[in-house]
Amino acid sequence: MNRSIQLVGAVVIEFENVTKRYPDGTVAVSDLNLTAPAGKITVLVGPSGCGKTTSLRMINRSIELTSGRISVDGDDIMSVGAVQLRRGIGYVIQHGGLFPHQTVLDNIATVPVLLGWGKKKARSRAYELLERVGLPSAFAKRYPAQLSGGQQQRVGVARALAADPPIMLMDEPFSAVDPIVRAGLQDEFLRLQQDIGKTIVLVTHDIDEAIKLGDNIAVFRTGGHLAQVDPPARLLAHPADDFVEGLVGKDRGYRVLSFVPIGDLPAHPVPTVTVGASMADARQAAGDEQWLLVLDADRRPIGWFDTTQPDVTSVEQRALRTVGTTFGGESSMRAALDGALGSPSGQAIRVDGSGAFVGAVSAVEIARHVASLGNVAVGA
């Protein structure tokens, strides 16, 4: 009889010389050596047919490996029955993979019931997870067809978490929804991971999603070969070869700014005025400048005011332009640059911990500061 693998707490997943060869001779994964660290998100990315989904599915044995070894905290996954193994691993796929004939509540409670939990306990856990993934309890009695794509994905994540597995496998979990919903789901997923600390292996074809979600990114090339595995910042700054460089894109220099801390980026003063001020006061404050930064009573920035506007008698809320993305001491250089590029004045606004105005910086100043940092900026 197969012994059980005790999956408790965050666990490490290791591939050792793993190959998957099909009967017709096709090699989907070739001699893969890869570690998914405990409590971290490892993202598998690459072109179609490169073996990333096959690698993911070998972890829960929905695809059996041909040779090599996959272990969880040192225990070979072949030492336990496939069905038993899968019940200890959460699995999320495109469209949520929900059972259409079951309610949302029963979908989420599926694995706890299979594990022998009492019905009351399983449903209590399901209600708890509904709230955790941001869905109201009223959704419990709905069926999947009554949910939007984004809502179905949230239910899919809740179902994967129901038995509190230390491992979650996610196969293109957010690809079936529109870009705006997808960004929201990604943010919610990252917030959730901060709380739950699972060992997660996620497959995507989208390099931007990989960079946003991954603690480590494993890049696969056609033929099931691992091209590079690194944290996002190092992957962007130092692609291993032309293939990886092509995958991460020509704008990788901009993307890498997401991992460059603000540090001592200098900010300069700009003319400011309090909302409600008269045009005479505004023009006096602006001097020769076109744009005034408008602050509230607590010196928090609320918008830019164009002093050349006709038929405006005071600095009113309706006359303001967006202040853009502000940034603080914990922000990245990309956040600062996005703020400058999105601002009508061409300047990003730095704020302190309370949101009060500190100073401004232009895109040119940001570029010069980054250039002065060199490779040190991304931990090279």
Cα dihedral 104/105/108/109 (nearest 10): -150
Cβ atoms of 272 and 297 within 8 Å: the answer is no
Is residue 46 classed as helix, strand or coil in its secondary structure?
Answer: coil
Q: Compute the average pLDDT of residues 246-259.
A: 81
Look up the pTM and report it.
Answer: 0.76
* Whole-number pLDDT of residue 102: 93
Express as a percent the part of the chain with pLDDT over 70.
95
Q: Beta strand 347-351 with 357-362: parallel, antiparallel or unpaired? A: antiparallel
Kindly report the CATH class assigned to 13-88+165-259: alpha beta
Judged against a pLDDT cut of 70, whether residue 261 lies above it is answered with yes
Integer Cα distance of 127 and 132 in angstroms: 9
Helix axes 149-161, 119-132, angle to 10 degrees: 130
* Whole-number pLDDT of residue 376: 46
Domain boundaries, the chain: 13-88+165-259, 272-375
Q: List, in order, residues 6 or more apart from 166 with CB less than 8 Å away.
A: 7, 8, 9, 10, 11, 88, 198, 199
* Higher per-residue pLDDT: 176 or 38: 38
CATH of 272-375, one of 3.50.50.60, 3.40.50.10860, 3.90.550.10, 3.10.580.10: 3.10.580.10
Cβ atoms of 290 and 308 within 8 Å: the answer is yes
Q: Please name the amino acid found at residue 72.
A: V
pLDDT band for position 2 (cuts 50, 70, 90):
very low
Q: How confident is the model over 315-372, as pLDDT tens digits? A: 887 888 888 889 998 888 888 999 998 899 999 999 999 999 999 999 888 888 887 7
Tokens for 341, please give them.
């590029």
* Whole-number pLDDT of residue 314: 86
Q: Compute the average pLDDT of residues 87-112.
A: 88
Integer Cα distance of 175 and 182 in angstroms: 7
Cα dihedral 94/99/100/106 (nearest 10): -120
Q: How confident is the model over 153-197, as pLDDT tens digits? A: 889 888 988 888 889 999 998 887 788 888 888 888 898 899 889
Mean pLDDT in the chain?
88
